[in-house]
Amino acid sequence: MANKPKLATVSLAGCFGCHMSVLDIDDRILELIELVEFDRSPINDIKEIKGRCAVGIVEGGCCNEENVHVLKHFREHCDVLISTGDCATMGGIPALRNTIPLQECLEEAYLKGPTVYNPRGKLPNDPEIPLLLDKVYPCHEVVKMDYHLPGCPPSADTLWQALVALLTGKPIALPYELIKYD
Amino acid sequence: MSAKVAFTIDGKTVQGEQGQTILQAAALASIYIPHLCAMKGLSPWGSCRVCTVLVNGRPQAACTTPVAEGAVVENDTAELKDLRSSLVEMLFVEGNHYCMFCEKSGNCELQAMAYRLGILAMRHPYMFPVRTLDASHPDVMVELNRCILCARCIRASQELDGKHVFDFVGRGSHRHIGVNAATGAGGTNLKVTDKAAEACPVGSIVKKRVGFAVPIGQRLYDSKPIGSAIESGRAAKG
């Protein structure tokens, strides 16, 4: 079908659990591809958004400069941007490092940790590696997000109902059971 | 029997009794006024302000304001819902609330309040404060990352247990719950059977080894919003 709206998805500082939850809609994914065409997404492995997208699903918050770059890219190319999952909406597990200074985190991970093997005794500092941010930020503290679906992960039903409502031009009105933070 | 006091909440006439708070009278009339620091059996406290209602047009904490003849109380309005949401969001951002691995999730009153108010994300920036965890007690964990300073543990310990295990320490944004022993909760006379050990609305004071006895999905607020018991009239009967 021509002129289907496009859907882009990405995992920033997340664990891909929210994407697993997208796959957890099971056979409804066949209905989903009737409604949308997937643009950039880990599901089809397209690396850059190619055209204007109706909906962007963002999993994970921003922990490094590449996350910020990708998130801004999504904001530019998506009409409606959805924070999906607790990492996107509040930082999630990666944000546990926010109470510890970044230098201490790196030293623990690469120099002082009990299982570290690092004979050169250096912290990773290759220009190819995205620089870490001072803290992990939820998406809406970096760009404007249009909608939030909390949960770890949000259930397949939550994602499905929200997406179908958006793609068919209806308001997202999720029942009580579908908005959970755990 | 105390003198009857008639007033209205959102236009509905409520019969209260002299000496009751608006929150108590409302609950007996099956009207739920959202609240966190107020707890049945403890003295009114009035710190969280989630129960803010308009009494004759003025914002008042329903948990500390006594009923008054002819008072016009507004509770379920869009404006108050937004105010309460903002208060609850502040409680979320000024602590470290990781619902995804918290054993209180599903039974947590703060989380349930956010669910009921329909909060999807917090409007205020996250603060990620540095807080402490005290696991020195053999049966009870004190996890201040999740504390919302409601003082329910303080009041329960003093008023119900006849002890003084918990109290506030520090001022302003440094205010936190302290325990009555230099060595931590393990050095106090707190027992796992104390009322103070189960007064916490969040996962700040939790009993050890029972955290996941009831699985996620089958918990108190997983399918029914907080306040459902009051609205269905169960509070009035019991």
Q: What is the pLDDT of residues A72-126, one digit of tens each?
A: 999 999 999 999 999 999 999 999 999 999 999 999 999 999 999 999 999 999 9
pLDDT digits (tens, 9 = 90+) for A131-143: 999 999 999 999 9
Contacts of B100 in chain A (CB under 8 A): 86, 92-93, 152, 181-182
Please report, for chain B, the start and end positions of each structural domain, with discontinuous segments joined by +.
4-76, 103-207
A115 lies in a domain?
Answer: no
pLDDT range class, residue B1, cuts 50, 70, 90 = low
Which residues are bridge partners to A7 per DSSP? A38, A55
Confidence at residue B238, expressed as pLDDT on a 0 to 100 scale: 44
Q: Which fold has domain B4-76?
A: Ubiquitin-like (UB roll) (3.10.20)
Out of B120, B122, B130, name the one closest to residue A179 (CB): B120
Residue of B110, B50, B58, B56 lying closest to B82 (CA atoms): B50
Question: The domain spanning residue A156 has which CATH number?
Answer: 3.40.50.700
pLDDT digits (tens, 9 = 90+) for B52-99: 999 999 999 999 999 999 999 999 999 999 999 999 999 999 999 999
Among residues B68, B63, B121, the alpha carbon closest in space to that of B92 is found at B121
Residue A144 structural domain: 6-96+134-178
d(CA A62, CA B95): 20
pLDDT confidence of B233, banded at 50, 70, 90?
A: confident
Q: Are residues A147 and B118, on separate chains, in Cβ contact within 8 Å?
A: no
Candidate from B99, B126, B129 with C-beta closest to A182: B99
- Give a yes or no: residue A110 inside a domain: no
- Evaluate whether B4-76 and B103-207 have a shared fold: no
Chain B nearest CA to A143, separation (Å): 13
A144 found inside a domain: yes
Pair of tokens at residue B84 = 């309460």
Contacts of A177 in chain B (CB under 8 A): 222-223
B-chain CB neighbours of A152 within 8 Å are: 99-100
Q: Is the pLDDT of residue B236 over 80?
A: no
**Tally of domains within chain A:** 1
Burial class (CB in 10 A: 0-12, 13-18, 19+), A140: buried
SS (H, E, C) chain B: CCCEEEEEECCEEEEEECCCEHHHHHHHCCCCCCCCCCCCCCCCCCCCCCCEEEECCEEEECCCCECCCCCEEECCCHHHHHHHHHHHHHHHHCCCCCHHHCCCCCCCHHHHHHHHHCCCCCCCCCCCCCCCEECCCCCEEEEHHHCCCCCHHHHHHHHHCCCCCEEEECCHHHCEEEECCCCCHHHCCCCCCCHHHCCCCCCCEEECCCCCCCCCCCCCCCCCCCCHHHHCCHHHHC
Match domain B103-207 to its CATH number in 2.70.170.10, 3.40.47.10, 3.30.70.20, 3.20.20.60: 3.30.70.20
Question: For the whole model, what pTM was predicted?
Answer: 0.96
Q: Which residue of A has its CA nearest to B95?
A: A99
Does the residue A55 lie in any domain? yes
C-beta separation of B55 from B67 below 8 A? no
Question: By CB neighbour count within 10 A (0-12 exposed, 13-18 middle, 19+ buried), where does B115 fall?
Answer: buried
Tell me the mean pLDDT in the region B27-40.
97
Q: Do B216 and A181 touch (CB under 8 A)?
A: no
Which chain A residues are closer than 8 Å to B129 by Cβ?
A: 99
Cα-only R_g, chain B = 18
Residue B221 near residue B107 (C-beta atoms within 8 A):
yes
What are the φ and ψ backbone dihedral angles of B209, each rounded to 5 degrees?
Answer: 70, 10
